[in-house]
Amino acid sequence: MRPISAQWIANAVGGELAADVDATVTSVVKDSREATDGCLYVAFVGEHVDGHDFAAQAAAAGATVCLVSQPVDAPHILVPDVTQALGALAAAYLALLRTEGDITVIGITGSNGKTTTKDLLAQTLPDVIAPAGSFNNEIGLPLTVLSAGPDTRHLVLEMGAAAPGDIAYLARIAPLDIAVVLMVGSAHTAGYGSADGLAAEKATILDGLVPAGVGIINADDPLVARMAGRAPRTVTFGFGSADVAGRDRRVEGGRAAFSVDGERVHLTLLGDHHATNALAAVAVARECGVSTAQAAASVTAAVPASPHRMALTERADGVRILDDAYNASPESMRAAFRALREIADGGRTWAVIGEMLEMGQASVQAHDDLGIDAVRLGISHLVVVGAGARPAYVSAVREGSWGEEAAFVATIDEALALVRDRVAPGDTVLVKGSHGTGLWSLADALTRETS
């Protein structure tokens, strides 16, 4: 982060600096345990914890000043709304970086694939800042912006959406040079009513481009392809007719491979669905001046960088755990089922699945369809965890007349006990569900076990 003064921050957020602070701020944290010399501590009020209670602790650890919505016993900047103030600070800071250097801001949205595409670009572009994990909301995105510095040439941001207006708000904080739309699926339809409503929200990222900006859109997704022309300039990518076209797409050992302009890409990431994310990364890299050959080589060399996303662990007892438990949608569930089958290569397959959250009225039908998919894709064993996902169990039994091959359990502990009891060497176990289900803890437990 470029050093900035406490008074500059107060002016940027329209807050009151309640201290005579001459020192500068060189980083921003939202957890008092991460406070170090020269940081700005941002005090959020959470569901269970009030960050204001830890302002003095942050100051004692070296925080220059705290951003607060109520007075605290430490140097602070008082604002009505801390989240809004953080966004205003990030917007002002990014505008400052633009006046002082050459920075390209890249925003990525899509129902699936944002984090993977971000991770690929973080390993492909030079002098790049990208968020760790999935910092794609009104708190995570500003924190990522504020981590950039004078030497940052490429700033890669995820832009998520849970309700109308979310992406437009994020794009006002960080106007984009490049906006990427990956796909429109069924995730978060509870907040939009339909896929068309979700597509309309995703398309607003293109409205957030600077006047000379470019929209990079997926020509293979009909809902995304119709966004062509909304950006000042449009570049399409896809495996059909597109400006950046992938050719000769194959799956080798559960990993996608394809060619683009004669350059071969062989992903280390598991799952054929990552081919789309990889092609998007190549398209972005080319817009940033990276040659196709170098982009293809970098994407090929890229390794998984975020937890709980198609992470394969070979246990000492011969059982393989495929951890894709960070999040889930109907599209990503089906993609994970296909990857599971490819990786197992004829061995027994287990799909341990939790609820796909934020599906709204489509939830029962979506989970019902998921159980049918598991049967038709030939998954050996299906374990459904939690009442919200139970329709997947019911439909799987109905579709396949399964007995012991399908099971429903109410809790993660029950799922762990069942898999422990029945899994055998040579089996491959997929664990997948929305993050809010906590199924990632089951993946962690299974990964740690050796017998």
pLDDT value, residue 161: 87
pLDDT value, residue 71: 96
pLDDT value, residue 188: 54
Asked if the model's pLDDT at residue 214 lies above 50, the reply is yes
Contacts of 407 (CB under 8 A, 6+ apart): 381, 382, 383, 384, 393, 418
pLDDT value, residue 364: 95
Q: Are residues 275 and 380 located together in one domain of the fold?
A: no
Asked if the model's pLDDT at residue 403 lies above 60, the reply is no
Q: Are residues 144 and 241 located together in one domain of the fold?
A: yes
Is 93 inside any structural domain?
Answer: no
pTM of this prediction? 0.88
Parent domain of 157 = 101-301
Amino acid at 265: V
pLDDT in tens, 421-444: 999 999 999 999 999 999 999 999
Is 88 inside any structural domain?
Answer: no
pLDDT in tens, 118-172: 999 999 999 999 987 778 999 999 999 999 999 999 999 999 988 899 999 999 9
Report the CATH number that the domain containing residue 408 is assigned in CATH. Answer: 3.90.190.20
d(CA 451, CA 449) in angstroms, rounded, equals: 6
Is 156 inside any structural domain?
Answer: yes
Q: Are residues 402 and 282 located together in one domain of the fold?
A: no
Instruction: Find the DSSP H helices in 288-389.
Output: 292-301, 330-344, 363-376
Q: Are residues 112 and 24 located together in one domain of the fold?
A: no
Please choose, from the candidates 440, 52, 122, the residue with its C-alpha nearest in 3D space to the C-alpha of residue 281. 122
Q: Are residues 190 and 333 located together in one domain of the fold?
A: no
Is 48 inside any structural domain?
Answer: yes
Is 177 inside any structural domain?
Answer: yes
Q: Are residues 216 and 118 located together in one domain of the fold?
A: yes
pLDDT value, residue 193: 67
pLDDT value, residue 134: 74
What would the mean pLDDT of 37-55 be, rounded to a whole number? 96
pLDDT value, residue 194: 81
pLDDT in tens, 244-280: 999 999 998 889 999 999 999 999 999 999 999 999 9
Q: Are residues 255 and 326 located together in one domain of the fold?
A: no
pLDDT in tens, 277-327: 999 999 999 999 999 999 999 999 999 888 888 899 999 999 999 999 988
Please choose, from the candidates 212, 231, 44, 233, the residue with its C-alpha nearest in 3D space to the C-alpha of residue 137. 44
Is 13 inside any structural domain?
Answer: yes
Q: Is 331 helix (H, G, I), strand (E, B) or coil?
A: helix
Q: Are residues 69 and 130 located together in one domain of the fold?
A: no
CB 111 within 8 A of CB 134: no
Last residue of some domain: 255, 278, 301?
A: 301
Last residue of some domain: 80, 115, 145?
A: 80
Number of domains in the chain: 3
With bands split at pLDDT 50, 70 and 90, how would you rate the model's confidence at 451?
Answer: very low
pLDDT in tens, 349-391: 999 999 999 888 889 999 999 999 999 999 999 999 999 999 9
Q: Are residues 295 and 322 located together in one domain of the fold?
A: no
* Other CB atoms within 10 Å distance of the CB of residue 417: 12
pLDDT value, residue 57: 97
Is 151 inside any structural domain?
Answer: yes
Is 95 inside any structural domain?
Answer: no
Q: Taking all residues of the chain, what is their mean pLDDT, rounded to a whole number?
A: 94
Q: Are residues 115 and 206 located together in one domain of the fold?
A: yes
Asked if the model's pLDDT at residue 112 lies above 60, the reply is yes
Look at strands 209-218 and 176-181 and give their pairing. parallel
Q: Are residues 348 and 273 located together in one domain of the fold?
A: no
Last residue of some domain: 273, 301, 329?
A: 301
- The string over 169-180, giving b where at least 16 C-beta atoms fall within 10 Å of a residue's C-beta and e elsewhere, is bbbebbbbbbbb
Report the CATH number that the domain containing residue 127 is assigned in CATH. Answer: 3.40.1190.10
Report the CATH number that the domain containing residue 63 is assigned in CATH. Answer: 3.40.1390.10
pLDDT value, residue 304: 84
What would the mean pLDDT of 405-410 be, rounded to a whole number? 94
Q: Are residues 30 and 112 located together in one domain of the fold?
A: no
Asked if the model's pLDDT at residue 402 lies above 60, the reply is no
